Amino acid sequence: MSWLVTGGAGYIGAHVVRALAAAGLSPVVIDDLSSGHEDFVPEGVPFVRGTILDRDLVERTLRAHEVTGVIHVAGFKYAGVSVQRPLHTYEQNVEGTRIVLAAMADADVQNLVFSSSAAVYGTPDVPLVTEDLPKRPASPYGESKLIGEWLIRDQAVATAGSPHPLRHTSLRYFNVVGSGDESVYDSSPHNLFPIVFEKLLAGETPRINGDDYDTPDGTNVRDYVHVADIAAAHVVAAQRLAAGLPVEAAYNLGSQNGLSVREIMDAMARVTGIAFTPEIGPRRAGDPDRIVATGELAARDLGWVNRYTVDEMVRSGWDARRNAS
């Protein structure tokens, strides 16, 4: 039983690959290395370098490795940049998902775990995000993920009476942090943890964007979840699909409580041993006070649990980043 991980050389995808291998599910990776790293792919895991926009390549890979299902992680994941590059975002995330679905249909592969995003909700004005909340994405990135979910839903309806009906679930999550393997780190120039790490390594002072929000300490409260927990949820979802067990169309992988940016900064100083007082900059346009999701459905079906404290999340990410230096 093998599972194709699109984007399996990236930060999240590489953790999914390791979790699949540990569960005996024989991962296969396809990645164009536009943001991934070939050395993130463990030795012995088949690696196909190429883009998911190449339908023939995706189908050949599915057939050659007798793939049971796909965990579709590949995509352009930068919400802010997507505003400047909407066409690129839609090509990678919408057209890419359409092509993966088409290749799966042609190769009779019927199981799909989709790496979606809590960005599908936009900036909800509720203290806790649930799966049934209205979807109002605030960026082309969020829109592209929602369209991806629609494509998957519609393909499942279209194939329901066929010999190989599409079985699927989408996992929505916010800020993925930390590391479950010191050889894999977050190299994104747009995520909070790597931004702070790079500042500290360069001897510079990290910055907080606004400290006058309606939160206990005035800084944004967000959902921070450990990448190893995210990877584990993907694996359980894949196992349930392969076993024919029921799954929801979508699950939030949320922390239930959230952490403020200042709490993250305090943990950064505490864990790294580098004392600093963050600079305070202006608010970023469109940043809500608080976005935190519940993970109740995922806890019920996928064994979802937050196993890491904030210090452990920072420590694992910091160790992995320094190991890469």
* Number of CB atoms found within 10 A of residue 282's CB: 9
Q: What is the mean pLDDT of residues 89-104?
A: 98
- What's the confidence (pLDDT) of residue 157? 98
Q: 61-94 pLDDT, tens per residue? A: 999 999 999 999 999 998 888 999 999 999 999 9
Q: Do the bridges between strand 67-72 and strand 175-177 make them parallel or antiparallel, or are there none, so unpaired? A: unpaired
Catalytic machinery residues: 141
What is the CATH topology of the domain spanning 2-175+224-252?
Rossmann fold (3.40.50)
What is the CA angle 190-191-197, rounded to 5? 105
- Indicate if the pLDDT at residue 185 is higher than 80: yes
Spell out the domain ranges in the chain: 2-175+224-252, 179-223+255-324
Q: 117-136 pLDDT, tens per residue? A: 999 998 888 889 999 999 99
- What's the confidence (pLDDT) of residue 306? 92
Q: 210-246 pLDDT, tens per residue? A: 999 999 999 999 999 999 999 999 999 999 999 999 9
Identify the CATH homologous superfamily for domain 179-223+255-324: UDP-galactose 4-epimerase, domain 1 (3.90.25.10)
Burial level of 91, CB count in 10 A (0-12/13-18/19+)? Answer: middle
Stated pTM of the model: 0.96
**DSSP codes of every residue in 35-84:** S--GGGSPTTS-EEES-TT-HHHHHHHHHHTTEEEEEE--S---HHHHHH
